[in-house]
Amino acid sequence: MTEPERIVAEGIVPPNFLDEEIQCEFLVDPHRKKIWAVELELMLEIDRVCKKHNLRYFLMCGTLLGAIRHKGFIPWDDDADLAMPREDYEKFIRLGDEFKHPIFLQTPYTDSDYAASFARVRNANTSAISPIIKYQKMNQGLFVDIFPLDNLVEEGAQERYEQINRLNIENGTFMRLTNPELNEKNRQRVAAYNRDHMKDFEEIQRIATIYNDRKTEKIAIMLFTAEPLEINTWNAVDFESSVEAEFAGHMFPIPSGYKNILTQAYGDYMAFPPVEDRGKHHGHYILEPDIPYKEFLENGCKA
């Protein structure tokens, strides 16, 4: 039984959840629906653990937009993002034992070959393969990203963000060390690598949390440096409390200031992008909800 089949059999989603349908002029095929089913179960498991331990978290990014505009996944989206106040995040990442196989809480402390600066919760019986790091002996199942929210003092923030970005790049190099198929640029990058990725990871956390001992007007996701800092910086007051929002038939917490957050990110957030732009997301991952990542890679499937 595949994971999507199990999730249906256990009643986590209704039987018709996996049916192909048109949503917002976009064809949502069964493959995407299966990805959603796996990610929804991960979200529900995270919710269960957070409620058990009185931890705060919020739907964020496209997942927050999906809750407000679609009451579920954006039809052309294929991932899920959550954020936690740093205090709650630090408690959460120590709770790996709360998750049972195939669900796995992944940090560099629980998976020594994983060097991203934020946590993921994965399903080990599925695949989310990034070709550039596919040879790493880490869990490469479908995942939900979990980002800590840190207090931000705007003076010097860009410099601190650039420091974190440089260290993120170094840890990205670490995860390339096992890849024999690199292009020349990446081969040079790997050949020059001579660092301790755990020290770099801990330095990232130190820089990100340097102002968490004080109240600030701004709050930010400092660890995800693939976007400009201003995109992931918000007014702290918008996260002081949460409200419930429907997502795929379940209720999840979202920031009380969600309107401000979504307006900052998307402008008129209830408007859809042009039809031709729908579906352009996460193209660098190969997502297989029916196949465990170990089996996928061992069988020589192209990634």
Q: What is the pLDDT along the chain (303 residues), one digit of tens a residue?
A: 999 999 999 999 998 999 999 999 999 999 999 999 999 999 999 999 999 999 999 999 999 999 999 999 999 999 999 999 999 999 999 999 999 999 999 999 999 999 999 999 999 999 999 999 999 999 999 999 999 999 999 999 999 999 999 999 999 999 999 999 999 999 999 999 999 999 999 999 999 999 999 999 999 999 999 999 999 999 999 999 999 999 999 999 999 999 999 999 999 999 998 887 777 555 589 999 999 999 999 987 665
Q: What residue type is assigned to position 33 of the chain? A: K
DSSP string, 55-69: ---EE-HHHHHHHHH
Location of structure tokens 């919020």: 58
- Is 248 within a domain? yes
Number of domains in the chain: 1
Nearest to residue 57, comparing CAs of 255, 217, 249, 215?
255
Query: What pLDDT, on a 0 to 100 scale, did the predictor assign at position 282?
Result: 53
Please report the beta strands in the chain, taking only residues with DSSP state E, as ranges in sequence order: 21-23, 26-28, 58-59, 81-85, 103-106, 119-123, 127-129, 142-152, 218-220, 233-235, 242-247, 250-255, 286-288
Note every long-range contact of 227-233, with CB atoms under 8 Å and residues 24 or more positions apart, other chains counting: 229/157, 229/158, 229/161, 231/265, 233/152, 233/157
Query: What pLDDT, on a 0 to 100 scale, did the predictor assign at position 302?
Result: 61
CB 7 within 8 A of CB 249: no
Q: What residue type is assigned to position 64 of the chain? A: L
CB 195 within 8 A of CB 170: yes
Domain encompassing residue 131: 3-150+239-298
- What is the C-alpha separation between 229 and 290, in angstroms, rounded? 36
- Is 259 within a domain? yes
- Is 168 within a domain? no
CB 161 within 8 A of CB 229: yes
- What is the C-alpha separation between 21 and 57, in angstroms, rounded? 31
- What is the C-alpha separation between 220 and 229, in angstroms, rounded? 8
- Is 81 within a domain? yes
Angle of helix 61-69 relative to helix 258-266, nearest 10 degrees? Answer: 110
- Is 181 within a domain? no
- Is 193 within a domain? no
- Cα 48 from chain centroid (whole Å): 18
- Is 120 within a domain? yes
Query: What pLDDT, on a 0 to 100 scale, did the predictor assign at position 275?
Result: 83
CB 134 within 8 A of CB 303: yes
Query: What pLDDT, on a 0 to 100 scale, did the predictor assign at position 277?
Result: 77
SS3 246: strand
- What is the C-alpha separation between 154 and 25, in angstroms, rounded? 41
- Is 183 within a domain? no
Nearest to residue 282, comparing CAs of 24, 79, 42, 25?
79
Supply the CATH number for residue 113's domain. Answer: 3.30.460
- What is the C-alpha separation between 126 and 37, in angstroms, rounded? 12
